[in-house]
Amino acid sequence: MMAVLRVFLFGIFAIFIGLLFMGIGRKVIARIQLRYGPPFYQAFLDVGKLFARKSITHNFVMDLGMVMALGGLLATMLFVPIAGHVAVKTSTNLIVIMYLMAIGYLGMAMAVAASGNPNATIGVSRALTMMLGYEVPFFTVILGLIIVNGTSSLELISQSQAGSILNWNMIKFPLAFIAAEIALQAMMGEKPFDAMIAPAEIASGPMVELSGKYLGLAFLTHAVSIFVETAIIVNLFMGGASNIFTFVLKQFEIYLITIFIEAVFPRFKIEQAVKFLWTVPIGIAVLQLLLILL
Amino acid sequence: MKMQKSDIVKLLLDRGYSVFDLYHNQIALAVKKENLLNDLIFLRSIGFEHLSFITAVDFIDEGEFEVVYHIWSYTHKVHILVKVRVDRNNPVVPTIINLWEQAQFYEQEVHEFFGIKFEGNNDLSPLFLENWVDIPPLRKDFDTREFSIRLYDAEVDGGDR
Amino acid sequence: MDAPSYTLSKIAERDNLAVYELFFGPNHPGMHGNFGYVLEMIGTEIVKVRPNAGHLHRGFEKLMEQKLWVQNIALVPRICVVDPDPNEVAYCTAIEKIMGVDIPDRAKFIRTITLEMSRLTSFLMGMGALGAALGLYTPMYIMMADRDLILDLFEWLTGARIYHIFNIPGGVRNDLPEGWVERLNEVLDHLEKRLIEYDKLVFENPIIHKRLKGLGYISKEEAIRTGITGPNLRASGAAYDVRVDDPYAAYPYLDVKVITQDGGDALTRAVQVRLEFEETIKLIRQALKEMPDGDVRLNLGNLSMLKVPKGEAYAKVESSKGEFGYYVVSDGGLKPYRVGVRGPSLPAGLLYAQKHLPKMKIDDVAAWMASLAICPPDIDK
């Protein structure tokens, strides 16, 4: 009973923080673009409005796929330590986390491909290609950190950076941090790697056929993915945190870096993006790996 | 090499065309539709290379359509209007898509709005209007007021024209 | 780059199931205006294109035959949404040619200044649209804010922000108000300072270079032969400009520099807009300095009862997209007999769609449209 309540609370917390980040991010981008921007709680209003609408569904596969996407990401979140607390106390294995994150994408791909719109299919194929692009440098970075710490448990990696700020992996292995930041930009689907959404080319890609409650589920999935991915980076490179407040603050710093880069770049074509991801971040990550091994 | 407008007028008059001098850099030329292609090839060879526009005018009182080709010369800085008159009941003009490619779309437009056939142009499908069953709309005998009253079944009670 | 389209057409012939139809249609975030292309595609490559025009057809040419000469000036700016002033000037110039009148010098200079200001707003929107088609939204918002400063100036002068109805046969409606010229100079100074930021954001952005290089190449001979005009023609290397070749308004008194580059692809066209932007600011400054005094309109009597003598004329104007032409035929009455409008986007939007698009992928269609400044309202009229 307590376990179910714990999982539920962690889920609500992840959704809440993700939506809050989305709203503040929109305000920051608006100020960069010399306008006022929506209020910082705009994402909550959007999700509330979307869930109050009727939605069109094509078939059972679309319903299942959307729920699978949100479920996959929530399952990933259960294994990520947040300032020392974990929803499922068994293990925080990094390989399991990366594996479960792919379920989110696959669920969305299944839902959207069932709708039959060629725009959506092109968008989904781009999303899966992009996943191929960013997983390789990210895994190289993780490999380096696993070798250094001798364990693949995220909790132990974050605890090994306790002490002073000089113990953080961000300072000890800066090249790995840079490569992970570039891969994070692609993981979160922000420019210059947002070929998946691309409104001007494929009419918003996967989200073109979603309406009402399905779009609300897509928003929630995006919010949870922001939370999970920034939490992984904070644990890997910034030493976790001692309390939840500091943890969320560190997550917000990582998210702000993503927003600042997003505001000033156009998007790559998908071939250019994968070529870039397979040359520059991998080079930096391999360099870091060699420095670790030697 | 640049010619003055008066030289061009003299050259065209010598070849037997009927030339009208409109403004300081515009002249109009009236040709017959049988020689249209040869005349345009000749004009192109003396430097009139930019086809701006193809349009038509409906002279319903004279029972004729007039198809006008607007051609500009970058070297001589002279604009020439080449006019062809065709009979209103059977308007057929040869096509010029082999000389200028953009003529395809201008001819499609003129065919759709006036009903003039361009022989040699295989694709005269409607470009702008969809499911149009009336007479071509830019003709002078197409009455817009009567068309909209008929289409919308409207009651007309007074009001000035 | 030729091998794939050959193979794709062969696949399309053999296997009908591989080809699907996609509407890059009227309702699309990447399309400027209500216009569509029906694309047949294999994978993400385009095989065949069919334009789907006519959603913006408002019947202007028929409508203008049924209204008085001066009533049409309210209709004419609506043919081109982003750059409405060249329409008014071309229409009024055609009428003045048929009537054989010459407008006062001060009216010519005011016409020139409003034309160049309208060109500035259109360039700002064009550069913003090019960035937005590629995902770069930040300069688009900043440019729209700057465009608002110029539209406020228009509202002060003419009473309306976008469709001004300011030119009439015989001149312009009213003179410049007090303080307008000082405010215009302030706005121009502000725009010159902003150009440095635009350079850093848009024109020195490495991703923009990567995306636009080599896209939609048009050679000089092909451009002249197929009727491409305006900045697109000058970006392919031909030094032709209506303001120099066939001057109207006050251009005989100003020195217009014709900027050409040879490149011919989308990146060159984007840089061309940027270079002409600077040149336009210089032209406005020069016109302000040399403006003479005098009245701003001829006395042609009651304009609602204006009768234009029998005749015809073709007047053309250099707009920010190319050559805008008006062919006016008059039979001596109160209303025009025929008005034919030549829009500059027709060769690019309809002909070059069938030449360039079948070798491209779906990613580049929006950027290609924005680089050629295709504006659907003047295709459909």
Which residue segment(s) compose the domain that C291 sits in?
60-344
Residue C1 has pLDDT above 60, yes or no: no
**What pLDDT does C152 receive?**
93
Residue A167 has pLDDT above 70, yes or no: yes
Q: What are phi and psi of C56, to 5 degrees?
A: -110, 20
Do both C104 and C10 map to the same domain? no
Mutant choice from C42, C138, C365 vs A, greatest count of A C-beta within 10 A: C138
Which residues in B lie closer than 8 A to residue C63 (C-beta atoms)?
A: 144
Average pLDDT for chain C? 88
CB contact under 8 A, C351 and B79: no
Q: Once rounded to an integer, what is the mean pLDDT over residues A247-267?
A: 90
Mutant choice from A194, A202, A271 vs C, greatest count of C C-beta within 10 A: A202
Distance CA B56, CA B84 (A): 9
Mutant choice from B60, B81, B114, B128 vs C, greatest count of C C-beta within 10 A: B128
Cβ burial, residue A99 (10 Å; 0-12/13-18/19+): exposed
Q: Which residue has the tokens 């929109």?
A: A26
**What pLDDT does C2 receive?**
39
A200 touches chain C (CB under 8 A): yes
The answer to whether the CB of C361 falls within 8 A of the CB of C44 is: yes
pLDDT digits (tens, 9 = 90+) for C33-91: 888 889 888 888 888 888 888 888 988 999 999 999 999 999 999 998 888 999 999 99
Band (pLDDT 50/70/90 cuts) for residue C180 is very high
Grouping H, G, I as helix, E, B as strand and the rest as coil, residue C285 is helix
Quickly count: other Cβ atoms within 10 Å of residue A204's Cβ: 19
Residue C9 has pLDDT above 80, yes or no: no
Neighbouring residues of C174: CB distance < 8 A, sequence distance ≥ 6: C296
Structure tokens at B1: 């090499």
Distance CA B143, CA A42 (A): 54
CATH number at residue C323: 1.10.645.10
Residue C314: closest CA among B110, B19, B81 = B81
HSE-up of residue C307 (Cα within 13 Å, Cβ side): 5
pLDDT digits (tens, 9 = 90+) for C194-231: 999 888 888 888 888 988 888 888 888 888 988 889 89
**What pLDDT does C19 receive?**
81
CB contact under 8 A, A194 and C205: no
Between residues 71 and 90 of chain A, which touch chain C (CB distance below 8 Å)? none
C338 touches chain B (CB under 8 A): yes
C332 touches chain B (CB under 8 A): no
Do both C105 and C78 map to the same domain? yes
Do both C215 and C271 map to the same domain? yes
Q: Once rounded to an integer, what is the mean pLDDT over residues C219-247?
A: 89
pLDDT digits (tens, 9 = 90+) for A265-283: 888 888 888 999 899 888 8
Percent pLDDT > 90 in chain C is 36
| Selected residue with higher pLDDT from A127 and C11 | A127
Our CA-based measurement puts residue C351 at a distance from the nearest CA of chain B, in whole angstroms, of: 6
Q: Once rounded to an integer, what is the mean pLDDT over residues A203-232?
A: 87
C54 touches chain B (CB under 8 A): yes
Peptide bond into C104 cis (omega under 30): no
Our CA-based measurement puts residue B15 at a distance from the nearest CA of chain C, in whole angstroms, of: 25
Residue C141: closest CA among C201, C212, C85 = C201
Our CA-based measurement puts residue C218 at a distance from the nearest CA of chain A, in whole angstroms, of: 23
pLDDT digits (tens, 9 = 90+) for B22-59: 888 888 888 888 888 888 898 888 888 889 989 999 98
Q: What are phi and psi of B87, to 5 degrees?
A: -70, 145
Percent pLDDT > 70 in chain C is 96
Our CA-based measurement puts residue C139 at a distance from the nearest CA of chain A, in whole angstroms, of: 7
A203 touches chain C (CB under 8 A): yes
**What pLDDT does C12 receive?**
60
Which residues in B lie closer than 8 A to residue C325 (C-beta atoms)?
A: 52-53, 70
Nearest chain A residue to C137, by CA: A263
B85 touches chain C (CB under 8 A): no
Between residues 237 and 266 of chain A, which touch chain C (CB distance below 8 Å)? 263-266
Band (pLDDT 50/70/90 cuts) for residue A236 is confident
Residue C4 has pLDDT above 50, yes or no: no
The answer to whether the CB of C180 falls within 8 A of the CB of C291 is: no
B100 touches chain C (CB under 8 A): yes
Average pLDDT for chain A? 86
CB contact under 8 A, A198 and C205: no
Band (pLDDT 50/70/90 cuts) for residue C17 is low
Nearest chain A residue to C205, by CA: A265
Q: Which of C44, C211, C361 sits opposite A266 (nearest CB)?
A: C211
C213 touches chain A (CB under 8 A): no
Q: Give the dihedral sign, CA C301/C303/C308/C314.
A: positive
Percent pLDDT > 70 in chain B is 98
pLDDT digits (tens, 9 = 90+) for C249-276: 889 889 889 999 988 889 999 999 999 9
Our CA-based measurement puts residue C224 at a distance from the nearest CA of chain A, in whole angstroms, of: 30
Grouping H, G, I as helix, E, B as strand and the rest as coil, residue C150 is helix
Q: Which of C44, C131, C142 sits opposite A266 (nearest CB)?
A: C131
Chain pair A-C, CB pairs under 8 angstroms: 74
CB contact under 8 A, C205 and A265: yes
Radius of gyration (C-alpha) of chain A in whole angstroms: 19
B64 membership: H or E segment, kind and range: strand B64-73
Mutant choice from C134, C149, C267 vs A, greatest count of A C-beta within 10 A: C134
Do both C198 and C129 map to the same domain? yes
The answer to whether the CB of C168 falls within 8 A of the CB of C92 is: yes
B39 touches chain C (CB under 8 A): no
Distance CA A223, CA A185 (A): 15
Distance CA C267, CA B64 (A): 48
Evaluate whether the domain defined by B5-152 bears CATH number 3.30.460.80.
yes
pLDDT digits (tens, 9 = 90+) for B32-41: 888 888 888 9
Band (pLDDT 50/70/90 cuts) for residue B159 is low
CB contact under 8 A, A267 and C208: no
Q: Once rounded to an integer, what is the mean pLDDT over residues C359-372?
A: 87
Q: Once rounded to an integer, what is the mean pLDDT over residues A85-100?
A: 78
CB contact under 8 A, B128 and C246: no
Which residues in C lie closer than 8 A to residue B68 (C-beta atoms)?
A: 327, 340
Band (pLDDT 50/70/90 cuts) for residue C14 is low
Mutant choice from A124, A185, A265 vs C, greatest count of C C-beta within 10 A: A265
Residue C259: closest CA among C244, C247, C249, C267 = C244
Q: Once rounded to an integer, what is the mean pLDDT over residues C338-354?
A: 90
Q: Which of C325, C351, C380 sits opposite B52 (nearest CB)?
A: C325
**What pLDDT does C3 receive?**
42
Q: Once rounded to an integer, what is the mean pLDDT over residues A177-205?
A: 84
Distance CA A78, CA A261 (A): 29
The answer to whether the CB of C271 falls within 8 A of the CB of C371 is: no
Peptide bond into A192 cis (omega under 30): yes
Residue C8 has pLDDT above 90, yes or no: no
Our CA-based measurement puts residue A174 at a distance from the nearest CA of chain C, in whole angstroms, of: 25
Distance CA C21, CA C24 (A): 10
Which residues in A lie closer than 8 A to residue C142 (C-beta atoms)?
A: 33-34
Which residue segment(s) compose the domain that A91 sits in?
2-293
C169 within domain boundaries: yes
Q: Which of C138, C208, C367 sits opposite A32 (nearest CB)?
A: C138
C134 touches chain A (CB under 8 A): yes
CB contact under 8 A, C226 and B101: yes
Mutant choice from C45, C363, C364, C365 vs A, greatest count of A C-beta within 10 A: C363
Band (pLDDT 50/70/90 cuts) for residue A79 is confident
**What pLDDT does C88 receive?**
92
Do both C23 and C73 map to the same domain? no
CB contact under 8 A, B129 and C226: no
Output the DSSP codes for C315-347: EEEE-SSSEEEEEEEE-SSSS-SEEEEE-TTHI
pLDDT digits (tens, 9 = 90+) for B87-105: 888 888 998 888 888 898 9
Residue C186 has pLDDT above 90, yes or no: yes
Which residues in C lie closer than 8 A to residue B21 (C-beta atoms)?
A: none
Per the structure, how many domains does chain A have?
1
| Selected residue with higher pLDDT from C19 and C89 | C89
Nearest chain A residue to C20, by CA: A118
Per the structure, how many domains does chain C have?
2
C61 touches chain B (CB under 8 A): yes
Band (pLDDT 50/70/90 cuts) for residue C11 is low
Q: Once rounded to an integer, what is the mean pLDDT over residues C311-326?
A: 91
Which residues in C lie closer than 8 A to residue A268 (C-beta atoms)?
A: 207, 210-211
Average pLDDT for chain B? 86
Band (pLDDT 50/70/90 cuts) for residue C147 is very high
B132 touches chain C (CB under 8 A): no
Q: Which residue has the tokens 């030449």?
A: C355
The answer to whether the CB of B126 falls within 8 A of the CB of B132 is: yes
CB contact under 8 A, C342 and B70: yes
Q: State yes or no: chains A and B have 3 or more CB pairs below 8 A.
A: no
B41 touches chain C (CB under 8 A): no
C33 touches chain A (CB under 8 A): no
